[in-house]
């Protein structure tokens, strides 16, 4: 990515709300996929009331790409009526190299790209992380338990590169950016492997979702956030932002973390964003937060981003 002037100001930069705080399955046993338009509107209205003008229909909540054409149009009308737009679509735990469902998820990812183009989004986010294990589901913080790992296997790595390149070419045809999410124990589990991966894909519209929060929250040694950000900044595209407080006591053998607002955590986002902007970062942001009132903390994070983004 080459340096260029941002196309937005701090007031106009697209900063979307994630929908991770909303479950896909409802207490009555229904899926959000089957909700009425009025029920969708109630949830979307909460996001609008938090001051967001952009929303990412994260597919852990709603698989917009799997709605019928009529239902998809109805959902987009709900978003429009709430005064919001959809700058990007994020996928979660639908890896195209999943041992059982990889082919299915590859087809799904193509539908996500087509849907993004249809509804006017400019980015999609994919990742190689898999469904939570039973231990992760029962833990207070799922990242404190070991999750699935991408295999240390050159053939599977090459399969991943080939499939993302296929998706990247499709996305380029319809004017969409692909952002690959950094996540532990995947092929984007470190800064070095993330850079290597996107360089092997070799497409200008395929970059890195620099979600360093996924890594600094781990209760294990990790590379310093600034070193990671320096490496991935030239490749940064659609960016999930969240932050954690991290405590390390080498003498006690203790590493612990917990979620905090963007401005209060280990990652200095003022510095991280400056690094990305120096390399021409021109993509939307997504605010997310685990624990408590995630929507309100995400709104606080959005306001912080607007204070530190370029004035013009």
As a whole number, the mean pLDDT across the chain is 96
Q: For residue range 34-50, what is the model confidence (pLDDT) as tens digits?
A: 999 999 999 999 999 99
Could you say which DSSP state residue 41 is in?
Answer: H
Q: For residue range 156-193, what is the model confidence (pLDDT) as tens digits?
A: 999 999 999 999 999 999 999 999 999 999 999 999 99
Closest to 149 measured CA to CA, from 165, 167, 168, 130: 130
Identify how many contiguous H helices and E strands the chain contains and give both numbers.
10, 10
In the chain, at which residue ranges do the beta strands (DSSP E only) sit?
A: 15-17, 54-55, 88-90, 123-126, 177-181, 206-209, 239-241, 243-249, 254-260, 285-287
pLDDT band of residue 206 (cuts 50, 70, 90) is: very high
Closest to 216 measured CA to CA, from 258, 264, 276, 253: 258
Residue with tokens 């954690």, as numbered in its chain: 244
Work out whether strand 206-209 and strand 177-181 pair parallel, antiparallel, or are unpaired.
parallel
Could you say which DSSP state residue 61 is in?
Answer: T
pLDDT band of residue 289 (cuts 50, 70, 90) is: very high
Q: Is residue 278 a contact partner of residue 163, using CB atoms and an 8 Å limit?
A: no
What mean pLDDT is predicted for residues 3-18?
Answer: 87
Domains of the chain: 15-308 (3.20.20.150)
**Three-class SS state of 154:** helix
């Amino acid at each position: 990515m080459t340096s260029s002037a941002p196309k937005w100001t701090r007031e106009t930069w697209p900063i979307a709300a994630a929908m991770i705080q909303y479950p896909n399955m409802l207490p009555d046993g229904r899926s959000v996929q089957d909700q009425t338009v009025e029920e969708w509107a109630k949830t979307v209205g909460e996001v609008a009331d938090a001051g967001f003008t952009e929303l990412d229909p994260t597919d852990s909540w709603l698989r917009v790409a799997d709605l019928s054409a009529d239902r998809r149009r109805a959902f987009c009308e709900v978003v429009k009526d709430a005064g919001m737009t959809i700058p990007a679509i994020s996928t979660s735990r639908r890896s195209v190299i999943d041992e059982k469902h990889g082919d299915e998820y590859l087809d799904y990812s193509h539908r996500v790209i087509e849907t993004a183009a249809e509804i006017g989004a400019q980015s999609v986010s994919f990742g190689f992380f898999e469904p939570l294990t039973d231990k992760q589901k029962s833990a207070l913080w799922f990242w404190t338990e070991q999750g699935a790992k991408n295999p240390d296997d050159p053939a599977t790595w090459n399969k991943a590169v080939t499939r993302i390149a296929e998706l990247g070419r499709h996305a380029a045809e319809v004017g969409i950016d692909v952002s690959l999410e950094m996540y532990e124990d995947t092929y984007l589990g470190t800064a070095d492997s993330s850079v290597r991966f996107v360089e092997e894909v070799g497409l200008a519209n395929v970059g890195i979702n620099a979600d360093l929060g996924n890594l600094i929250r781990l209760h294990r040694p990790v590379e310093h956030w600034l070193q990671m950000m320096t490496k991935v900044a030239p490749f940064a595209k659609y960016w999930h932002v969240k932050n954690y407080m991290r405590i390390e006591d080498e003498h006690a053998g203790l590493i612990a973390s917990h979620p905090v607002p963007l401005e209060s955590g280990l990652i200095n986002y003022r510095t991280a964003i400056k690094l990305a902007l120096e390399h021409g970062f021109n993509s939307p942001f997504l605010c997310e937060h685990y624990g408590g009132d995630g929507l309100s903390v995400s709104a606080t994070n959005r306001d912080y981003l607007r204070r530190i983004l370029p004035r013009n």
